[in-house]
Structure 1
Amino acid sequence: MKHKFSFVNNRLTKIRRDNLYRKLVSNKILGPHVIIRGKRLINLSSNDYLGLGFNKIPTMQTQSSSRLVAGNDFLFERLEEKLAQHKSQEAALIFPTGYMANLGIISILPQKNDLILSDELNHASIIDSCKLSEARKIIYKHNDIYDLENKLKKRSVRKFVITEGIFSMNGDFARLKEISDLCQKYGAYLILDDAHGDFVVGRDGRGSAENKHVANKVDVYISSLSKALGTFGGYISSKRQIVDLAVNTSRPFIYTSALPNFLVRLALEKFSSNREQKRKKLWKNIKYFKTGLESLGYTIPSESQIMPIIIGKEKKALEFGKYLFDNGVFAQPIRYPTVKLGTARIRISVTALLNIDLITKSIDVFERAGKKFGIL
């Protein structure tokens, strides 16, 4: 007789056999380092791009109800006003996470008989959000303007183009100038998930669209407070009526507890901190790291803080990552389903927390690893 959960064991066995098994590893973050199993490693896997740091968290509200019930602390309004100004929009709305922000707006804006066109490398939260919508969905080839235009010609009541600003696994920028021009040409709405571009690129860190001089052509912004800003939560920013629609119809907003207000206060403090100084240091680090890797012979097509080193086979990527770990560098192997099979990679996240000495040490380890595994 089969065990009740044999089907689960079978799935896990296949995941292990395909070198795709993942497990949680306890760690402790200490500035530019991470401590794992007592080993101090240079942390190249952090999304805390600016490294703005934490002050002592005050003893305040730690739990609340939904914002439509009794959880709408006055600090939300203050932060949302600043975020709307930051994006040159009329209004903003904070969600508990960036994932929920995507679910919250994409699931309600496109309707039945509408058409969603989504980049093939969009984040899982966008993919899941599109599934919740009643609109028809079409995937266009990554950053392929010709493919997007051909698919924009299909008939529908309304059309929505959804893209990331900086793609989370490739580190490349969306071709926002061309995409926004096509949206105008075909009367499509442009939804931009700028989780990795917000507070990192553009004037005063206003994001990818500002960096490409098309900020006024984006209809809905979706972003994160937990990456470059280094706090917690996500948000949307758009016209006031779109935010009102989310307040009234977005299930991920209505039916969940609000963020604790000390996290909102922390976001306000970091928003008003000297972000520009940290941002300049980040870009100095990016240039130094990219130049160093390319001088060794690595191909780094990314122009952002996210630098993938394509390994290919999943097992080889795991072995490469283990070699980095054993030599004091923490840079996680990224495998299917996060990326396509056969395109496993080491994903480097550069932050302002790093200094030239730590980057130099990391580059030395990557040189040895590249030669050992035949990448260089």
Structure 2
Amino acid sequence: MKTLEADLSRRRAQNLYRERLVLESSQGVEVRVGAETLLSFCSNDYLGLANDPRVIAAFQQGAQRYGVGAGASHLVSGHSRAHHVLEEELADFTGAARALLFSTGYMANLGVMSALTDRHDAIFEDRLNHASLIDAARLARARVTRYPHADVARLADILKHAPRGGLVTTDAVFSMDGDIAPLAGLAGLASEQDARLLVDDAHGLGVLGRNGRGTLEHLGMPLAPPVILMGTLGKALGVFGAFVAGEEALIETLIQRARTYIYTTALPPAVAEAVRASLRIVREEGWRRDRLRTLVARFRAGAERLGLVLLASPTPIQPVVLGTAEAALAASQRLREQGILVPAIRPPTVPEGSARLRITFSAAHEEKHVDRLLEALAML
């Protein structure tokens, strides 16, 4: 029988061992790790709201009014006015009839799949889907088929031989590559199949679209059946939590059947109040998205001059693929020696042979920060 110690040793030998950083500071452009102050390019705080004074104040005021815990699940006594109003505001923001809060994006995806499918159903998912979608499909016990990344034509061939109905699932913005899913084509196939399309927009919400409504807005698509939207509140919105948005019957079905909604304590109401403040900023301060686009364009132009090979990503996620885990770790360490924090991303998070530096940008970055990063990359 394989021992835990042997498995850990194997991970170390293969350069796949994961270690946690202990931050001594809040999230921001600069973070403190022990005695080091590092320029960070690895947070999903895309709009720079995780440490915004207005969001902090809303959290504090929410804690003063509601306390620090919800005390129970939403269906017992944990559903506060703060939760209820946030759900209404999220529905309005995304253009949905209703929205439903979950504790995390992981739990939201698990909840949707467990509520809408069973062992008699079929789930079709992109090969590069986030782990939460992959795990949700496994736990739903449905028949799972994975189609090649973003390959609408191949999925169409698969669906020709599949029973009608089922669920197609995809990231909207793929978290490790930064590219955008072909949602219009996927939605069309789902409609033809009498299936639903679950869109995980964790990395598009707040960032993409003229109003920050996410990938659907960016692509000019309405949020309407067959589409189901899952969005997270801990990335561009800078706080914590997640939600699912869609039509009335969908949300009522989730309330009745989604185990990860029914059987867990509700988010602290103070968190909901903080998200409400963040959502107002997302609506009102479009300059944050403009700055992100400017920073990404500056980085990509500079990387091209350096001869770096980047993936085709229009988003704040800009991976530099280096191949082996050893190469990615070495590059990450050399950047850290120059005061820049970009952890190495290795298998199984990404496919074998595609270990990388996953560089991410925030509206809180400045052009001088991008230039400093490029100077450091030039020395790798």
Q: TM-score, normalised by structure 1?
A: 0.94
SS class of match (1:79): helix
Note if contact 1:114-1:157 (Cα within 8 Å) is conserved in structure 2: no
- Give the Cα separation in 1 of the matches to 2:289 and 2:338: 29
Which of 166, 169, 173 is the matching residue for 1:162? 169
Q: Secondary structure at the match of 1:108?
A: helix
Conserved? CA contact 1:195–1:224, under 8 Å: yes
Of residues 11, 17, 30, the one that matches 2:7 is 11
Q: Which moved more, 1:70-79 or 1:28-37?
A: 28-37
Separation of aligned partners in 2, 1:10 and 1:30: 35
Task: Determine the structure 1 residue equivalent to 2:158.
Answer: 151
Q: Where do 1:59-74 residues align within 5 Å?
A: 59-60=63-64, 61-63=67-69, 64-74=71-81
Runs of 4+ residues deviating >3 angstroms:
none
User: How far is the alpha carbon of 1:30 from its aligned partner?
Assistant: 5.3
What secondary structure, in the 3-state scheme, does the structure 2 residue paired with 1:81 have?
A: helix
User: Which residue number corresponds to residue 372 of structure 1?
Assistant: none
Equivalent position of 1:360 in the other structure: 371
Q: Deviations over 1:244-273 (max 9, x none)?
A: 111111111111111111110000011112
Map 1:301-320 → 2, pairs under 5 A: 301-320=312-331
Residue 22 in structure 1 maps to residue 18 in structure 2: yes
Indicate if the aligned counterparts of 1:222 and 1:234 stay in contact, CA closer than 8 A: yes
Residue 56 of structure 2 aligns with which residue?
55
**Contact (CA 8 Å) 1:110, 1:158: kept in 2 or not?**
no
1:199-238: CA deviation from partner (whole Å, max 9, x where unpaired)? 1101301111121122245521011000000011011001
Between the two proteins, the alignment pairs up a number of residues equal to 365
Q: Secondary structure at the match of 1:42?
A: strand
Q: Percentage identity across aligned positions?
A: 33
Partners of 2:115 and 2:305 in 1: CA distance: 48
Structure-2 separation of matches of 1:216 and 1:48: 24
Question: What amino acid is the match of 1:47?
Answer: N
Deviation, 1:21, is 0.2
Superposition pairs of residues 126-141 of structure 1, within 5 angstroms? 126-141=133-148
Residue aligning to 1:43: 40
Matched letter for residue 191 of structure 2 = Q
Paired letter, 2:17: Y
Match of 1:222 in 2: 230
Report what 1:100 is aligned to.
107
For 2:205 and 2:288, locate their aligned partners in 1 and report how far apart those are by CA, in whole Å.
14
Cα contact 2:223–2:246 (8 A) shared by 1:
no
Of 70, 85, 93, the match for 1:86 = 93
Number of the residue aligned with 2:189: 182
1:266 alignment partner, one of 258, 261, 274: 274
- Partner AA of 2:239 in structure 1: T
Distance in 2 (CA, whole Å) between partners of 1:82 and 1:203 is 18
CA contact (8 A) 1:50 1:275 kept: no
Structure 2 contact 316–360 (Cα < 8 Å) conserved: yes
Shift of 1:157: 4.3
State the one-letter code of the partner of 1:368.
M
Q: Which moved more, 1:118-127 or 1:243-252?
A: 243-252
Which residue identity is paired with 2:246?
A: S
**Whole-Å Cα distance in 1 between the matches of residues 114 and 343 of structure 2?**
31
1:231 to 239, 254, 265: 239
Structure 1: unaligned runs, 5 residues or longer: 370-376
Cα deviation, 1:112-168, whole Å, max 9, x if unaligned, reads 322111000000000111111132110000011121111111232412111111000
- Structure 1 residue identity aligned to 2:19: K
Which residue number in structure 2 is paired with residue 374 of structure 1? none
- Equivalent of 2:299, from 276, 289, 294? 289
CA RMSD of aligned residues (A): 1.5
The CA distance in 2 between the partners of 1:265 and 1:349, in whole Å, is 27
Secondary structure of 1:348's counterpart equals strand
Question: Which position in structure 2 is the counterpart of 1:249?
Answer: 257
Match of 1:331 among 335, 342, 347: 342
Compute the displacement of 1:174 (Å): 0.4
Deviation larger for 54-63 or 298-307? 54-63
* Contact kept? 1:34, 1:42, Cα under 8 Å: yes
CA contact (8 A) 1:278 1:352 kept: yes
Matching residue's letter, 1:253: Y
Is the counterpart of residue 299 in structure 1 residue 309 in structure 2?
A: yes
Asked whether the equivalents of residues 31 and 40 of structure 2 are also in contact (C-alpha less than 8 Å), the reply is: yes
Instruction: Tell me if structure 2 keeps the 8 A contact 1:180–1:214.
Output: no
Question: SS of 1:29's equivalent?
Answer: coil
Q: Select which of 211, 214, 217 maps to 1:207.
A: 214
* Kept in 2: contact 1:282–1:352 (CA 8 A): yes
SS at match of 1:307: strand
**Do 1:113 and 1:157's aligned partners in 2 also have CA atoms closer than 8 Å?**
no
